[in-house]
Structure 1
Amino acid sequence: MEVPKKIRITDVNVAKTKAEHYCAYQERSQQEVRDKLYDWGLWPDAVEQIISYLIEENFLNEERFAKAYVQGKFNQKQWGRVKIKLGLKAKRVSPNLIKKALLVIDADDYFAALTRLIEKKAPTIAEKDSFKRRYKLQQYAMSRGYEADLISDVLKANDL
Structure 2
Amino acid sequence: MEPAKTVKITDENIALAKAQRYCVYQERSQQEVRNKMYEWGVAGRVIEIVISRLIIENFLNEERFAKQYARGKFNQKHWGKIKIKQGLKLKQVPDVLIKKALLGIDMDDYLRVLQDILTKKASGLKEKDGYKRRYKLQQYAYSRGFESDVILDVLKNSEL
Aligned to 1:73: 73
Aligned to 1:47: 47
Q: What SS is found at the alignment partner of 2:108?
A: helix
Q: Mark the CA change 1:15 to 1:114 in structure 2 (over 3 Å): closer, same or farther.
A: same
Which AA in structure 1 matches 2:154?
Answer: V
Q: CA deviation at 1:143?
A: 0.4
- Once structures 1 and 2 are overlaid, which stretch shifts more, 4-13 or 81-90? 4-13
Aligned to 1:147: 147
Matches within 5 A, 1:97-136: 97-136=97-136
Normalization by structure 1: what TM-score? 0.94
Counterpart CA distance in 1 for 2:134 and 2:47 is: 51
Unaligned runs of 5+ in 2: none
Q: CA deviation at 1:8?
A: 4.6
Q: What SS is found at the alignment partner of 1:113?
A: helix
Counterpart CA distance in 1 for 2:6 and 2:121 is: 43
Q: CA deviation at 1:14?
A: 1.2
Q: CA deviation at 1:159?
A: 2.4
Q: CA deviation at 1:147?
A: 0.6
Q: Mark the CA change 1:79 to 1:57 in structure 2 (over 3 Å): closer, same or farther.
A: same
Identity of aligned residues (%): 62
RMSD over aligned Cα, in angstroms?
Answer: 1.6
Normalization by structure 2: what TM-score? 0.94
